[in-house]
């Protein structure tokens, strides 16, 4: 079996999206391909068909490979709960909560697991496209590394290093990274890629020639800067926080300090008359057509943030006539109270909710992780997944948002969420609910009617994603020396 590992000079250089591109290219060329990232740190996760949790970056890469996402593609997922602590997910299940030192002490144990599990993956696929994390030049973390060079050495994978020219200083970043590697690590690096280039390639060529003389590694290609409607886990803060050009429909997303599963809004990006803006301050609230209160890894802290920032007051006033969609943690915050008797999230045993929905949430130590399908009270089929630690109970009879008819592949009849009598306040535990073209169309057309706009059909998000992945593969195939990459992997074509 062949393998290649994409590492970077730092975070947000485009590793995840380039791995997705290579997965699609190799798949197009007739190979059975698997993405792999041994350790991922992200609040953006996903639930597999068998009810396991994994990072979203490997989900996109799995789609690019034409296969169903599986937790073994991301065996260790770290979900920060504070500046010093995180929840550790191992093979899709909660393992423990710990700090950096506690996690470091587990790495010897994890190395054995990773090696054994990777050997099983090798038996199933022709090519594994691996992704590193951050930079391999973090010399203070070299000992017991299990995600960059340590993982490459563990499974004997050749490495390509990616640098981001859009940030500036790409030659120094690539040369400096190689400088800080050990001799054996340098030998493992087979080439470099320059990513996110804008401008005249002729002006870049002399620098590439000089770089080759310095690092003694070939540049395998220069990938241009591009914009596609594909989720990029690493690029959220860099790109998604930039407010879009104003269009007919204005949707505001509350940017919580511990925001999670922000890919819930990705399907809205394919609507040509919808603009999305992220707001973190009360004076930026404005008068949007809809507000989305997204998921959170620390619901109580984020609720307190809303209160202190003045956004809670804005939401309360807006709820009298505006549209609000609360998802997961956002749903919990919209209720009247959140109880935390086991101190799952904080030392606060209880905190007052925003009070828009007549319900109470009790946080629990057990994590609910399910893939679900159902029908909303508006009549639309929806699908998605739940990841939460808490049970929400209605204080009085009200209309539920959705009846879930399937849970982890088994028939069910579960009422979830809330919808107001005027259909403008909605809340659910179902991540990915906006991926449903039917539900998205229903909500957006109700806004269009109110604004005197022409109603539109919403496209199926999955079909658009496939088209965008193909476009990504086309751009990267034209930009890289794919034949050399095959040669690096030991594949003759």
pLDDT tens-digit readout, 449-491: 999 999 999 988 889 999 999 999 999 999 999 999 999 999 9
pLDDT of residue 240: 43
Q: What would the pLDDT profile of 115-165 be if each residue is shown by its tens digit?
A: 999 999 999 999 999 999 999 999 888 888 999 999 999 999 999 999 999
User: What pLDDT does 243 receive?
Assistant: 47
- Let me know if residue 14 belongs to a domain: yes
Q: For 225, which DSSP code?
A: P
Task: pLDDT band for 100, please (50, 70, 90 cuts).
Answer: confident
- Tell me the CATH number at 288: 3.40.50.880
Q: With 80 as the cut, is the pLDDT of residue 216 above it? A: yes
182 and 275 together in one domain: no
Q: Is the domain of 199 the same as that of 96?
A: yes
Q: Is the pLDDT of residue 185 over 60?
A: yes
Distance (Å, rounded) from C-alpha 315 to C-alpha 334? 9
Same domain as 215, residue 177: yes
Average pLDDT over residues 373-378: 95
Residues 182 and 256 in one domain: no
What pLDDT, in 10s, does the model give residues 299-330? 999 999 999 999 999 999 999 999 999 999 99
Q: Flag whether 309 is in a domain.
A: yes
Looking up tokens 């009085």 gives: 396
In terms of domains, do 66 and 212 share one?
Answer: yes
Flag whether 236 is in a domain: no
pLDDT at residue 371, rounded to an integer: 92
Percentage of residues of the chain with pLDDT beyond 90 = 77
In a domain, residue 402? The reply is: yes
Measured CA angle at 428 (ends 73, 420), to 5 deg: 165
Q: How far apart are CA 245 and CA 168, in angstroms?
A: 26
296, 176: one domain: no
Give every CB contact of residue 358 below 8 A, 6+ residues apart in sequence: 335, 336, 394, 395, 396, 398
For residue 124, give every residue at least 6 positions away whose Cβ sits within 8 Å of its Cβ, in sequence order, or none: 32, 34
Residue 346 lies in a domain: yes
Q: What is the mean pLDDT of residues 262-273?
A: 90
Q: Do residues 346 and 291 share a domain?
A: yes
pLDDT-based confidence at residue 244 (cuts at 50, 70, 90): low
Residue 4 has pLDDT above 80, yes or no: yes
Weakest-pLDDT range from 23-37, 64-78, 344-358:
344-358
Looking at per-residue confidence, does 189 or 260 come out higher? 189
Which are the contacts of 128, defined by CB distance < 8 A and separation ≥ 6?
Answer: 1, 2, 3, 4, 33, 34, 35, 36, 118, 121, 122, 157
- In this prediction, residue 85 carries a pLDDT of 82
Binned at pLDDT 50, 70 and 90, residue 294 comes out as very high
The pLDDT, as a whole number, for residue 238 is 36
- Report whether pLDDT(206) > 90: yes
Query: For residue 261, what are its two tokens?
Result: 């599963």
Question: Does a structural domain hold residue 457?
Answer: no
Could you tell me the strand order of the sheet in which 93-99 lies? 39-41, 76-80, 85-90, 93-99
What's residue 239's pLDDT?
39
Task: Report how far residue 368's alpha carbon sits from residue 47's, in angstroms, rounded to the nearest whole number.
Answer: 10
Angstrom distance (rounded) from CA 412 to CA 186: 54
Q: Which residue has better confidence, 189 or 82?
A: 189
Is residue 459, in this structure, part of any structural domain at all? no
In percent, how much of the chain has pLDDT > 70? 97
pLDDT at 442 over 70: yes
Domain count, the chain: 2
pLDDT-based confidence at 262, cuts 50/70/90? confident
Determine the average pLDDT of the residues in 428-435: 95
- Least confident among 217-221, 235-239, 307-311, 330-334: 235-239
Q: What is the pLDDT of residue 232?
A: 57
Where in the sequence is the domain holding 42, given as residue range(s)?
Answer: 2-230+466-489
CATH number for the domain spanning 177: value is 3.40.50.300
- Average pLDDT value over all residues in the chain: 92
Same domain, 225 and 255: no
317 and 377 assigned to the same domain: yes
218 and 276, same domain (yes or no): no
Distance CA 174, CA 193 (A): 9
289 with 345, same domain?
A: yes
pLDDT bucket at 275, cuts 50 / 70 / 90: very high
- How wide is the angle at C-alpha 368 spanned by C-alphas 362 and 371, nearest 5°? 135
Residues catalogued as catalytic: 328, 431
Q: Would you say residue 239 lies in a domain?
A: no
- Do 470 and 448 fall into the same domain? no
Return the pLDDT at 245.
65
Confidence grade of residue 234 (pLDDT, cut at 50, 70, 90): very low
Q: Give me the pLDDT at residue 233, please.
A: 53
Residue 235 has pLDDT above 60, yes or no: no
Token pair belonging to 493: 């074509």
Q: What's the distance, CA 270 to chain centroid?
A: 17
């Amino acid at each position: 079996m062949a393998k290649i590992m994409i590492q970077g000079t730092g975070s947000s250089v485009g590793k995840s999206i380039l791995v997705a591109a290579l997965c699609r290219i190799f798949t197009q060329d007739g190979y059975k391909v698997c993405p792999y990232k041994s350790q991922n740190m992200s609040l953006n996760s996903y639930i597999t068909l068998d009810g396991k949790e994994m990072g979203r970056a490997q989900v996109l890469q799995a789609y690019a490979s034409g296969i169903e996402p599986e937790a073994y593609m991301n065996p260790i997922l770290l979900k920060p709960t504070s500046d010093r602590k995180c929840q550790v997910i191992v093979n899709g299940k909660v393992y423990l909560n710990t700090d950096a030192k506690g996690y470091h002490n587990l790495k010897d144990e994890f190395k054995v697991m990773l090696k054994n599990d990777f050997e099983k993956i090798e038996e199933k696929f022709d090519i594994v496209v691996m992704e590193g994390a951050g930079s391999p030049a973090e010399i203070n973390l070299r000992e017991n590394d299990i995600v960059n060079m340590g993982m490459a050495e563990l499974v004997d994978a050749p490495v390509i290093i990616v640098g981001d020219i859009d940030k500036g200083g790409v030659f120094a970043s690539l040369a400096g990274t190689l400088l800080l590697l050990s001799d054996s690590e340098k030998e493992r690096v087979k080439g470099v890629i320059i990513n996110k280039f804008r401008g005249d390639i002729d002006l870049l060529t002399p620098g590439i020639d000089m770089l080759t003389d310095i690092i003694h590694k070939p540049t395998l290609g220069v990938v241009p800067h591009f914009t596609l409607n594909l989720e990029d886990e690493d690029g959220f803060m860099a790109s998604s926080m930039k407010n879009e050009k104003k269009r007919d429909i204005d949707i505001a997303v509350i940017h919580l300090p511990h925001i999670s599963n922000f890919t819930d809004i990705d399907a809205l990006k394919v609507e040509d008359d919808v603009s999305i803006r992220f707001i973190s301050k009360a004076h930026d609230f404005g008068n949007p057509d809809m507000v989305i209160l997204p998921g959170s890894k620390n619901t109580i802290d984020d609720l307190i943030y809303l209160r202190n920032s003045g956004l809670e007051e804005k939401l309360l006033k807006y709820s009298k006539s505006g549209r609000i969609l609360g998802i997961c943690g956002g749903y919990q915050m919209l209720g009247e109270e959140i109880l935390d008797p086991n101190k799952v999230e904080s030392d606060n045993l209880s905190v007052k909710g925003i009070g828009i929905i007549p319900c109470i949430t009790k946080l629990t130590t057990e994590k609910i992780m399910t893939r679900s399908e159902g029908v909303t009270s508006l009549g639309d089929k929806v699908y998605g997944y739940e990841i939460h630690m808490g049970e929400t109970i209605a204080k009085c009879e009200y209309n539920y948002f959705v009846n879930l008819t399937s849970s982890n592949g088994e028939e069910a009849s579960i009422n979830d969420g809330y919808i107001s009598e005027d259909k403008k306040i909605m809340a659910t535990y179902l991540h990915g609910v906006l991926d449903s073209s039917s539900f998205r169309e229903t909500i957006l057309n109700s806004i269009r009617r109110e604004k005197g706009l022409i109603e539109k059909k919403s496209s199926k998000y999955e079909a658009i994603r496939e088209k965008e992945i193909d476009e990504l593969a086309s751009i990267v195939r034209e930009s890289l020396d794919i034949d050399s990459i095959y040669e690096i992997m030991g594949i003759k074509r």
